[in-house]
Amino acid sequence: MSFFEWREAPPGDFAVVGDPVAHSLSPRMHQAAYASMGLDLTYRAVRVPRGDLAAALQRLAGTGYRGVNVTVPLKEEAFALTRGGDPRLGAVNTVALPGLEATNTDAPGFLVTLDVEPGPALVLGAGGSARALAVALHDRGFQVRLFNRSADRARALTDRSGVPILVMPEPDPSDCSLILNATSAGLQGQAPKVIWERAVPGALAYDLLYGPGSRPFLKEAAQRGLRTQDGLGLLVEQGALAFEWWLQAQAPRGAMMEAVQ
């Protein structure tokens, strides 16, 4: 099977946890990394619904798991349960077990894959990924604008982040060199609302999702003459950084990328 429910996950070494996880390429990517280095390790996909993370981590640690990657919708929940994460980000995506030390490899991994000069940037969403990457963009020198369907959630995100983020009343990409989709709308086959007619031709539309989930957003962007990028490169880079954090060894990025392309 492509994933396990957390109560039924067999013993292993590492895993990605979230809901949904059936689509995740992380197991394929990490297993390719282990094989290329001759490491006898396992990496599984484990479904953990929101609210179950504490119990799931305890069970996984008890069956021998050494670490997990955390994906939507659990990154903020993971931050509250662990130690070592950046409080400005408010989200972690990589956890060591059983000690619950944590870090966020999404933010540095995202910046490695980003080929845009600092300027105005529109971030869509108000979850853990949106907050972490909004802070990363601010630190890189971008002027961050944020839109979310719930203005209250957007304002709460900016308050918690501690960095200047402009909450937008509508998804207006005027003057933005980057439009970042940090929502999970693509997992339902949808695209977040954007006023595309105001977008700057040649700007970059970047979707954190990869594969079919990224297509609705990127298709709309391409029809408006924008450059497009999905999250596949980010998947590899954040995974490589997690590999290095757990194992203290250089990650085989070439083998990891080849496994997911």
Residue 219 catalytic?
A: no
CB 25 within 8 A of CB 260: yes
Q: Using CA atoms, how far apart are residues 43 and 69, in angstroms rounded to an integer? A: 10
H helices then E strands: how many in the chain? 9, 12
Selected catalytic residue, list 75, 138, 145, 215: 75
DSSP of 22-57: TT--HHHHHHHHHHHTT----EEEEE--TT-HHHHH
State the angle between helix axes of 128-140 and 106-113 in degrees (0 to 180), rounded to the nearest 10: 50
CB 96 within 8 A of CB 108: no
Q: What is the CA radius of gyration of the chain?
A: 18
CB 147 within 8 A of CB 203: no
| Parallel/antiparallel/unpaired status of strands 120-124 and 94-96 | unpaired
- Active site positions, annotated: 75
